Structure 1
Amino acid sequence: MEEEVRTMMYWNSGGWIWMIFMSLLWIVLIGLIVWAVVRLTQQPSRHDDARGGGPAPRETPEEIADRRFASGEIDADTYTAIHERLARRRASQHR
């Protein structure tokens, strides 16, 4: 009878260990699933390039002027002056 009681006691403590292990296993498994779903459904950031790797390339001054002119931030005279000034600067740098 004493052996029976001892066996039941060890089985009972083993059951608690098993229950804790299974709970942790499920928590980790659910966490991995949530992480995978978030990772797969996440939109790429604005700073990622088209290949999905590094940061987007910096805009050149000409591209900035083009964008600002297209959006109406600057008028045609300012746009022309910017391009002429940039061309002069670029020419002086190459001398």
Structure 2
Amino acid sequence: MFWNEHDAGGWAWFAMSAGMLLFWLLVGMIAVLSFRALSRPERTAPTREAAPGTILDERFARGDIDEDEYRRRRAVLTGRPADEGDRLRKR
């Protein structure tokens, strides 16, 4: 029942020490990752930047570009001719 006269050999001490070290490293990693995940600021899109159409809309709203330039760039982004929107608007 009791081997080695109640004494752990050199490898047993090493295994216990390594196991305890790995256990506390794992607990520390879980704590750090949990803290980082919970303290991260909320984002609408995880890592993506704003879409080109959104940037174009914001520039037009700020007055950085005029309506003609906005329509030309919007047509390029959507792949439609620039005058197609003008025809639909004139009806």
Root mean square deviation of aligned Cα? 3.5
- Give the alignment of 1:81-92 within 5 angstroms: 81-82=68-69, 85=72, 86=75, 88-90=83-85
Matched, 1:58 2:51: yes
Gaps of 5+ in 2: 76-81
Going from structure 1 to structure 2, the CA distance change for 1:82 and 1:72 (only over 3 Å counts) comes to closer
2:67 paired residue number: 80
Question: How many pairs align?
Answer: 75
Gaps of 5+ in 1: 1-5
- Deviation of 1:36 after TM superposition, in Å, equals 1.2
- Deviation of 1:68 after TM superposition, in Å, equals 1.5
2:8 paired residue number: 11
TM-score, structure 1 as length reference: 0.51
Q: Which structure has the higher relative contact order (CA within 8 Å, separation 6+)?
A: 2
Distance (whole Å) between structure 2 residues aligned to residue 73 and residue 42 of structure 1: 33
- After superposition, give the CA deviation of every residue in 1:24-75 in whole Å (9 maximum; x if it has no partner): 10011111110111112122456x1xxx6x85773438x71x421332323x
SS of match in other structure, 1:11: coil
SS of match in other structure, 2:21: helix
Matched, 1:30 2:28: yes
Distance (whole Å) between structure 2 residues aligned to residue 84 and residue 25 of structure 1: 61
SS of match in other structure, 2:41: coil
1:68 paired residue number: 59
SS of match in other structure, 2:8: helix
